[in-house]
Structure 1
Amino acid sequence: MRIVVIGATGHVGGYLVPRLVRAGHQVVAVSRGLSEPYHPDSAWDAVERVQLDRERGDADGTFAGRIADLNADAVIDMVCFTKSSAEQLVDALRGRVQLLLSCGTIWIHGPATAVPLAEDEARQPFGDYGVGKHEIEEFLLAEARRPGGLPSTVLHPGHITGPGWDMINPAGNLDLEVWSRLARGEEVVLPNFGLETVHHVHADDVAQGFQLALDNPGASVGEGFHLVSDRALTLRGYATAVAGWFGSEADLRFEPFERFAQSTAPQHAQATWEHISRSPSISIEKAQRLLGYAPRYTSLDAVAEALQWLIADGRVDVDGRELRASSSR
């Protein structure tokens, strides 16, 4: 197939594009600039690169047409954030491509009643990101299920993790100092009792899910799927595991969120609130059953690989301690 990947050099695209090339597809990588992917791979030598600014193109109504003119059999959209952007793309692609795969998020769910959350649970999304992605999914799946509609699938990753970028830490934010303090056995403050959850997924496992949906349109069209690791992590369990990788014992202090926020930089406190207010614990049963999805990485496996990169890149200082994490892979 000729496959256009929009947002191809992002976190997932760095793994997805090489997967598609090695499967024998002709890949067109669309990105705003010509930056290199996070995950280098020689497969990129066989990829056609196209530079398009989606925000500008959506504003002047040219982006969707430019994508349609690439004459793809399938389009994979990693960077759609508004229903209006999705509508423009669908109008341009309807009748011209066989399949549209769109990247959503587990933040289509708000607080859970029971866990793990399945795709068809009653939803209470909040915040622009979660609400916007929920609206996009509703539109695309309705489009896919109506006669003559564009065949579409939506895949919802958790907290995407991998080497090359920062990932959500045991405090539920992106503060790199949290990793250093855990490695050195220094005190780390966690909100409440540290029992809220986060649910990671390695970028390559997200790529796996997209490839499976592409390969199984009979099972995937008109459906939404979660893509996460096998299990979520509690904040305190997560912190304890990370400290143990460095031979340290986690020194944890628990504070009500309001006091936690007072001792935390505002941007990190806000990120923590965004994560613990949702506390995702997500089911992958549907993707396993219909697509054969089988994540290679546990949450801790994915974090360990990403943290090793942050240390090697000089982003996290662990005073020379060696990260020793057992892997389930």
Structure 2
Amino acid sequence: MRIVVIGGSGHIGTYLIPRLVSAGHEVINISRGKSTPYQSSQAWNGVKHVVLNRSEEERNGQFGKKILELHPDAVIDLICFSLESAKQLVEALEGKIQHFISCGTIWVHGHSKEVPVTEDQSRSPFGDYGIQKAEIESYLLEKARRDGFPATVLHPGHIVGPGWVPLNPAGHFNPQVFVQLAKGEEVTLPNFGLETVHHVHADDVAQAFVRAIENWNSSIGENFHVVSPAAITLRGYAEEVASWFGQLSNLKYLPWNEWHLTVEENEANATWDHIAHSPSCSIEKAKRLLNYQPRYSSLEAVRESVAWLINQGVIKIN
């Protein structure tokens, strides 16, 4: 098929586009032309690159039209963040493509009620990101079930991989936490460190997109979690990271109203978002209908990312 990938130069696209090329598809990558893949691959030599500024084209009402002019059989949208953005694209493509796959987020669930969370549980999303992604999902699945629009929605967890800093055991993105754990220094966690985070390696997310295409009949009109086999607690995460460096974790705990004063405001905000959600999601539906088989556990995915950060000198350890 001719597959257009919108936003294919980022975390997911770095792994997805080579997988699509290897599967024999013709691939067109849409980006603003400001970033390059995190990993090199000969597969990129066969990819057509089209530079489009989505926001600008949407303001002009031209984005969907320009995607359609590329004559895609399938479109993978990795960077849709508002309902209006989704509607403009779908209205242009309706009746003219075989498959449309949208990247969502596990944050569409909001607070967990029963864990692991399944895709069909009742939801209470909060925060602009989760709310808007939930609106996009509802719109796409309604279009699929009512009008036959061939939509699938995949919901990744906290994406990790070589090339960027992973969500750390304190629930934010300061790589210094990994340094402290590696040196056996004291690390303070919020509350009792029992909130959860649910990572996924970017290549496993890419695998799920390819499996959705391969299992077209099973994926149309459906939503799927795309995460590692199990979530991890902040405490367990910290203990495991320390052990990678031959250390016993030296952990301290503070209630939230004290802990958030010990870090920068942006770090506190990131941690609050993650521990308020505390995701733990089931992948049984994706395994059953898509044959999704994640290669990485949460900790294996993070360990690969941390090794890359050490090699790049971002994490400096004697």
Measured in 2, the distance between the counterparts of 1:8 and 1:225 equals: 20
**Separation of aligned partners in 2, 1:141 and 1:95:** 15
In the TM superposition, residue 34 of structure 1 has moved relative to its aligned partner by 4.7
Q: What is the alpha-carbon distance in structure 2 between the residues aligned to residue 77 and residue 108 of structure 1?
A: 17
**Does the aligned pair in 1 maintain the 2:161–2:305 contact within 8 Å?**
yes
In the TM superposition, what whole-angstrom CA distance separates every residue of 1:104-153 from its partner, at most 9, and x where no partner exists? 00000111111000000000000000000000000000001124x32100
> What does the per-residue CA deviation read over 1:61-89, in whole Å, with 9 as the maximum and x for residues that have no partner?
11111011100000000000000000000
Larger mean CA deviation between 57-66 and 124-133 belongs to 57-66
Instruction: Give per-residue Cα distances to partners, 1:233-286, cap 9 Å, x unaligned.
Output: 000000000000000111000000111110111100110000000100000010
Matched-pair contact (CA < 8 Å) for 1:34–1:51: no
User: 2:258: which partner in 1?
Assistant: 259
Q: After TM superposition, give the deviation of residue 57 of structure 1 in Å.
A: 1.1
User: Which amino acid is the alignment partner of residue 180 of structure 1?
Assistant: V
Cα distance in 2, alignment partners of residues 108 and 36 from structure 1: 29
Match of 2:225 in 1: 226
Determine the C-alpha separation between the residues in 1 that align with 2:266 and 2:35.
27
Alignment of 1:143-222 (within 5 A): 143-147=143-147, 149-222=148-221
The CA distance in 2 between the partners of 1:136 and 1:125, in whole Å, is 13
Is 1:159–1:168's contact at 8 Å kept on the other side of the alignment? yes
Match of residue 309 from structure 1: 308
User: Mapping of 1:1-329 within 5 angstroms?
Assistant: 1-147=1-147, 149-319=148-318
Q: Using the aligned pairs only, state the percent identity.
A: 56
Equivalent-residue separation in structure 2 for 1:235 and 1:81 (angstroms)? 28
Cα distance in structure 2, aligned partners of 1:235 and 1:150: 40
CA distance in 2, matches of 1:193, 1:215: 43
* 1:322 counterpart residue number: none
CA distance in 2, matches of 1:313, 1:58: 38
Deviation, 1:166, is 1.0
Structure 2 residue matching 1:277: 3-state secondary structure:
helix
Unaligned 5+ segments in structure 1 are 320-329
- String of CA shifts for 1:84-105, please: whole Å, max 9, x gaps: 0000000000111111000000
Q: SS at 1:102's partner residue?
A: strand
RMSD: 0.7
Q: Is the 8 A contact 2:141 2:151 kept in 1?
A: yes
Report the 3-state secondary structure (helix = DSSP H, G, I; strand = E; otherwise coil) of the residue aligned with 2:39.
coil
Shift of 1:199: 0.2
Aligned counterparts of 1:81 and 1:13: Cα–Cα separation in 2: 17
Asked whether the equivalents of residues 105 and 133 of structure 2 are also in contact (C-alpha less than 8 Å), the reply is: yes
SS at match of 2:277: coil
Could you tell me whether the CA contact under 8 Å between 2:204 and 2:294 is conserved in 1?
yes
Equivalent pairs counted in the alignment come to 318
The one-letter code of the counterpart of 2:150 is P
CA contact (8 A) 1:93 1:150 kept: no
Cα deviation for residue 55 of structure 1 reads: 1.0
Structure 1 ranges of 4+ moved more than 4 A: none
CA contact (8 A) 1:232 1:299 kept: yes
**What CA distance in whole angstroms lies between the structure 2 residues aligned with 1:146 and 1:262?**
50
Deviations for 1:211-246, whole angstroms, at most 9, x for unmatched residues?
A: 000111100000000000000000000000000000
Question: Normalising by structure 2, what TM-score?
Answer: 0.99
Q: Is the 8 A contact 2:75 2:100 kept in 1?
A: yes
Whole-Å separation in 1 of the counterparts to 2:60 and 2:127? 26
CA distance in 1, matches of 2:34, 2:232: 36
CA distance in 1, matches of 2:312, 2:56: 34
Matched residue of 1:146: which SS?
Answer: helix
1:115 maps to a residue whose letter is: V
What's the secondary structure of 1:294's corresponding residue? coil
Residue 295 of structure 1: CA displacement?
0.2
